[in-house]
Chains A and B, each alone.
Chain A
């Protein structure tokens, strides 16, 4: 038998087993049947995350009732500091999002599956003297849990909404 190395149909995404911002265990299976919009970040993020979550929330607002078919998730890359309670406080400003955290191993695993970059760097302007540089991509996963598309941080709310509308229409 040949040793065949086929690149996977999609190199992005996979299963996860995390804790939501209410402290409940959540796996990827909980979202089957819905589109999922995933953004990775950390609650002490001063620029990238607030801007992205604002933009993505606005895009979902533009979708109107269609947005009910999309579950936005915010997965932390800073599990040491982002407890469920911390995420709950942070996400009051972005009520559409469910925050997900977990152990370092759980977070490393989901980061790897989504090819997410996150690296702590020193930052004298930060309260802790450090910040985390991280991937600013929003991933769209289909109702079957598979990768469908992604948005970079240059996509406007309107562009994001238009593309989501198209993706939802294709389903």
Chain B
């Protein structure tokens, strides 16, 4: 099934989302244009970490299912996203949040102290993203750069305050081990986000990370943790009387906070991720849950029911809930094509999509609805990331990423491993049965670049020939290349390098002689 999507390749909108991720990843350090949410201090979905992590997850899904022979499209973006999530701007909120004092656990405020290391205690909503992104990277690109000692280092120093430099060194394995043992110590119930608050959802990314760790290093920690997780949550249930997922449990009193208000983001976020290891359970409850969350609009468009948020302590809560984005992402994982298309139709109609530097996104709009009552509110997390995630995902896409890993042979097949910035890859799939790499390539006029792609693992497969639209472009073997068509094809080191002229937009194939 997944191969059907790879054969079909990407459409214009999907390419637009990937390029928008690429554009955001290329912003200079601490430039967060288009990414700032309504709330203060990186404490909710307005936090950059969520956008960075789910862009990486969306790229992982797109690479795994839709563009498997083009790691070069995704790998550099992934690296830049990981680089950004290590920036203090992303994680320094923890120094304050670690002190406790939220309304959930005001009684524990004296127990907590300021913690600078963002992953040492609790804060799974950050640590698990770093862990899972690094391990996904290793798995997808067969590159262990984040396994090197200190490869995931959190450091902070200010000229203006804070005293001595702070530096906390981890790598993908030490961070994974650290999270794993926190899971063990919790009896597999999970690691807290804010102090004392164990959210169901926030432990799902850690499970994805464990699975990737197992795929890279061997072992069965994901299976162990999910089995323990099932057992631990049995005491409390995972779903409330109203059929919706519990939000969280308090670590000290073991009190469950139910989703009494049927907040869409709770169900949708949990369901979209938990499906990776608990598919039957998630699918079983989906029909009842989603029917409470989605409502019909005009001309097949769908929107969502969003409950009013009560004031707390006389204060209005200002956060990015990302209800629309999460519900849309969830429908994609559930394979609910009708609702997915309906929600995307609503977004395209009422949420003002923008094309910018080749990228597609829905810009932040704080206005809840238009004059006709159509929902227009959209947050950076939804507009930059989640709607793109939904378009790039396939039915049970995360489940397949988790349960149907690539074979070792995949990493030995010819692939597009470098792509210049002005190239769009619409399709890239290697068919081992016929020993052929098929691709659709377009060189853009509106973006600077040298119009090149590089193929790896091609020269070791013997004689080859490249054809574009039935015209032979080049053929060769080992270090020899004979150019017979209108493209510049050369060999540089171990790469087959192809340079495309401006305006090029064609399907091509590189066929290899039978092995």
* Chain A residues with a Cβ under 8 A of chain B: 1-7, 11-12, 115-117, 119, 121, 133-135, 137, 152, 154
Q: A5-B117, A7-B174, A154-B220 are in contact. Are A115 and B184 (CB under 8 A)?
A: yes
The 4 closest A-B pairs by CB, nearest first: A117-B187, A115-B185, A5-B168, A115-B181
Q: A1-B164, A11-B178, A154-B220 are in contact. Are A6 and B169 (CB under 8 A)?
A: yes
The chain B residue with its CB closest to the CB of A121 is: B235
The chain B residue with its CB closest to the CB of A153 is: B224
Complex contact A137–B184 (CB within 8 A): yes
Q: What chain A residues lie within 8 Å of B167 (beta carbons)?
A: 2-5
CA A11 to CA B177, docked complex, whole Å: 8
* Closest chain B CB from A132 CB (angstroms): 11
Complex contact B165–A117 (CB within 8 A): no
Q: What chain B residues lie within 8 Å of A7 (beta carbons)?
A: 120, 169-170, 174-175, 178
CA A12 to CA B182, docked complex, whole Å: 11
Q: What chain B residues lie within 8 Å of A5 (beta carbons)?
A: 116-117, 120, 166-169
Q: What chain B residues lie within 8 Å of A6 (beta carbons)?
A: 168-169
CA A137 to CA B187, docked complex, whole Å: 11
Contact check: which of B164, B174, B188, B227 meets A3 at CB < 8 Å? Answer: B164
The chain A residue with its CB closest to the CB of B175 is: A7
The chain B residue with its CB closest to the CB of A133 is: B187
CB of B505 closer than 8 Å to a CB of A: no
Q: What chain A residues lie within 8 Å of B184 (beta carbons)?
A: 115-117, 135, 137
CA A121 to CA B235, docked complex, whole Å: 9
CA A12 to CA B178, docked complex, whole Å: 10
- Most chain B C-beta atoms within 10 Å of own C-beta, residue among A3, A119, A137: A3
CA A4 to CA B181, docked complex, whole Å: 21
Q: In the complex, how many residue pairs between chain A and chain B have their CB atoms under 8 Å apart? A: 58
CA A87 to CA B116, docked complex, whole Å: 43
Q: Range of interface residues on chain B?
A: 20 to 34
Complex contact B117–A11 (CB within 8 A): no
Q: A4-B169, A5-B169, A152-B224 are in contact. Are A117 and B185 (CB under 8 A)?
A: yes
Q: What chain A residues lie within 8 Å of B165 (beta carbons)?
A: 2-3
Q: What chain B residues lie within 8 Å of A121 (beta carbons)?
A: 235
A-B contact pairs, 17 of them (CB 8 A): A2-B164, A2-B167, A5-B120, A5-B166, A5-B168, A7-B169, A7-B174, A7-B175, A12-B181, A115-B182, A115-B184, A115-B185, A116-B185, A117-B185, A117-B188, A134-B187, A135-B185
Q: What chain A residues lie within 8 Å of B164 (beta carbons)?
A: 1-3
Complex contact A135–B187 (CB within 8 A): yes
Q: Which of B158-196 touch A at CB < 8 Å? A: 163-170, 174-175, 177-178, 181-182, 184-188
* Closest chain A CB from B461 CB (angstroms): 37
- Most chain B C-beta atoms within 10 Å of own C-beta, residue among A1, A12, A134, A135: A135
Complex contact B187–A119 (CB within 8 A): yes
* Closest chain A CB from B493 CB (angstroms): 37
The chain B residue with its CB closest to the CB of A7 is: B174
CA A150 to CA B169, docked complex, whole Å: 24
Q: Which of B69-97 touch A at CB < 8 Å? A: none
Q: What chain B residues lie within 8 Å of A154 (beta carbons)?
A: 220, 223-224, 227
CA A133 to CA B185, docked complex, whole Å: 12
* Closest chain A CB from B227 CB (angstroms): 8
Q: What chain B residues lie within 8 Å of A12 (beta carbons)?
A: 181
* Closest chain B CB from A6 CB (angstroms): 5
Q: What chain A residues lie within 8 Å of B181 (beta carbons)?
A: 11-12, 115
The chain A residue with its CB closest to the CB of B168 is: A5
The chain A residue with its CB closest to the CB of B221 is: A152
The chain A residue with its CB closest to the CB of B224 is: A152
* Closest chain B CB from A125 CB (angstroms): 15
Q: Which of B88-144 touch A at CB < 8 Å? A: 116-117, 120
Q: What chain A residues lie within 8 Å of B169 (beta carbons)?
A: 4-7
- Most chain B C-beta atoms within 10 Å of own C-beta, residue among A11, A12, A116, A121: A11
CA A157 to CA B220, docked complex, whole Å: 17
CA A119 to CA B166, docked complex, whole Å: 36
* Closest chain B CB from A107 CB (angstroms): 15
Contact check: which of A3, A117, A134, A152 meets B186 at CB < 8 Å? Answer: A117
* Closest chain B CB from A123 CB (angstroms): 11
Q: What chain B residues lie within 8 Å of A137 (beta carbons)?
A: 184
Q: What chain A residues lie within 8 Å of B187 (beta carbons)?
A: 117, 119, 133-135
Q: What chain A residues lie within 8 Å of B235 (beta carbons)?
A: 121
Q: Which of B48-82 touch A at CB < 8 Å? A: none
The chain B residue with its CB closest to the CB of A155 is: B220
* Closest chain B CB from A43 CB (angstroms): 20
Q: What chain B residues lie within 8 Å of A1 (beta carbons)?
A: 164
CA A152 to CA B174, docked complex, whole Å: 19
* Closest chain B CB from A37 CB (angstroms): 17
Q: What chain B residues lie within 8 Å of A117 (beta carbons)?
A: 184-188
Q: What chain B residues lie within 8 Å of A115 (beta carbons)?
A: 181-182, 184-185
Q: What chain A residues lie within 8 Å of B188 (beta carbons)?
A: 117
Q: A2-B166, A11-B181 given. 17 additional CB < 8 A pairs?
A: A2-B165, A2-B167, A3-B166, A3-B167, A4-B169, A5-B120, A5-B169, A7-B170, A7-B178, A11-B178, A115-B181, A115-B184, A117-B184, A133-B187, A135-B185, A135-B187, A154-B224
CA A24 to CA B181, docked complex, whole Å: 31
CA A116 to CA B181, docked complex, whole Å: 9
Q: What chain B residues lie within 8 Å of A133 (beta carbons)?
A: 187
CA A2 to CA B162, docked complex, whole Å: 12
CA A66 to CA B163, docked complex, whole Å: 54
* Closest chain B CB from A12 CB (angstroms): 7
* Closest chain B CB from A167 CB (angstroms): 15
CA A117 to CA B177, docked complex, whole Å: 16
CA A4 to CA B164, docked complex, whole Å: 10
CA A4 to CA B117, docked complex, whole Å: 10
Q: What chain B residues lie within 8 Å of A135 (beta carbons)?
A: 184-185, 187
The chain B residue with its CB closest to the CB of A137 is: B184
* Closest chain A CB from B134 CB (angstroms): 15
The chain A residue with its CB closest to the CB of B227 is: A154
* Closest chain A CB from B362 CB (angstroms): 39
CA A5 to CA B182, docked complex, whole Å: 17
The chain B residue with its CB closest to the CB of A119 is: B187
CA A90 to CA B177, docked complex, whole Å: 33
Q: What chain A residues lie within 8 Å of B116 (beta carbons)?
A: 3, 5
